[in-house]
Structure 1
Amino acid sequence: MQNEKQVHKRKIWIGEARALLPLLFIWGAEWIFSALVDIAIYWHDLDWLKQAALLTAVIASLVQLWSLRKDFRADGEGLKDQSGWGHPALLLLPGVMLIAAIALLEAIGAIGPLFAPVLRAFILAIGFVQIGLLLGRPLIYLGLWLFALSAVMGVWYLGYSAVILEGMGGISLIVSGYMLRVWGR
């Protein structure tokens, strides 16, 4: 009985957030592309390409959110809150806060360039575990795997952390988006 309630709540939460799932694919692709640029940077100066990919992901995210604005109206015609977690757009707030915190720490020089990818991967892993507590164990396992990978990369392979952690983080975002899409059916 308790498990049926959890499954029902999970379906409601995923249903409310279904419109936001493309953001996982957008940012997963950006992380993977950034990792590929990090590999190619050894042969050509492609730093501008990483900035272009980031800007493209931001614009694609804004376009996605703009196209959903009618669903997020508070006048009762849009998505209905059945989960008790508040307006579905609030699901983005923690992610936006984490991105802003990392950007600020990088801007003031609090994080060295070698440690920034490790921090981003740790935060993504923690996010997966947090969301997994609500939506299911596979996301918890994905977060724990990414956390362990980040720890190993941070301790023994720091020089390769940007390529590996951005690539694996991007793959994790895409996989989680796929899992949530399948679970929402």
Structure 2
Amino acid sequence: MQNTKQTDLANKRKAWIGDARALIPLLFIWGAEWMFSAIMDFAIYWRDLDWLKQAAFITAVVASLIQLWSLRKDFRKNDSAERSGWGHPALLLLPGVMLIAAIALLEAIGAVGPLFSPVLRAFILAIGFVQVGLLLGRPMIYLGLWMFALTALMGVWYLGYSAVILEGMGGISLIAGGYMLRVWGR
């Protein structure tokens, strides 16, 4: 009986990884955007490059929408939603979109200061890694715990540098997460 449950869980994990692989380009797109934003935060001390950060963000949003549009076509063909029980994989992004909208609202009304918004985004990323890691594997959990610890450290002792460090490390973490999914799906 125990062996049957382990086999069933292993098969579900493979199905979840198969569905999550479709989201790998999004992890790479946003990882690159976070790293580019960190570089611009560092370079902003010498030149006003805020417009370049906004252009990179808009480019990442457009690239994400294009990727989601192509996912819609692929999942109609494969009908893999029935296989894993997740529903459409784009629904996995719904909590993340809701969190991003909540952060944007908090920043717009002034509830989150400019020094704390990178910390808040990094905490949400860390929690997301842990949540996804519960389904896909321990390395994602470890990545989330590492990001959580780094965010706590930056928030307590190095708040002024948090935008550069947390965006850069968050971008690297997103790309590492995409790479893990790519390797696991082989």
Question: Structure 1: 5+ residue runs without aligned partners?
Answer: none
Q: Shift of the alpha carbon at 1:5?
A: 2.9
Question: Structure 2: 5+ residue runs without aligned partners?
Answer: none
**Bigger Cα displacement from structure 2, 146-155 vs 86-95:** 86-95
Q: In 2, distance between residues paired with 1:95 and 1:59?
A: 17
RMSD (Å) for aligned C-alpha atoms: 1.4
Residue 144, structure 1, aligned to residue 145, structure 2: yes
Instruction: Check the 8 A contact 2:68/2:90 in 1, yes or no.
Output: no
- The match for 2:185 is 184
- The match for 1:89 is 90
Residues 95-148 of structure 1 deviation map (CA, whole Å, 9 limit, x = unaligned): 111111111111111100000000000000000001101111100000000000
Residue 132, structure 1, aligned to residue 123, structure 2: no
One-letter identity of the residue aligned with 1:84: G
- Flag the structure with higher helix content: 2
Q: In 2, distance between residues paired with 1:12 and 1:118?
A: 33
Counterpart secondary structure, 2:84: coil
Instruction: Check the 8 A contact 2:81/2:87 in 1, yes or no.
Output: no
Q: In 2, distance between residues paired with 1:14 and 1:3?
A: 16
Residue 5, structure 1, aligned to residue 33, structure 2: no
Q: Between Structure 1 and Structure 2, how many residues are aligned?
A: 183
Q: Shift of the alpha carbon at 1:77?
A: 5.7
- The match for 1:51 is 54
Identity of aligned residues (%): 80
**Bigger Cα displacement from structure 2, 41-50 vs 82-91:** 82-91
One-letter identity of the residue aligned with 1:11: K
Q: In 2, distance between residues paired with 1:7 and 1:77?
A: 21
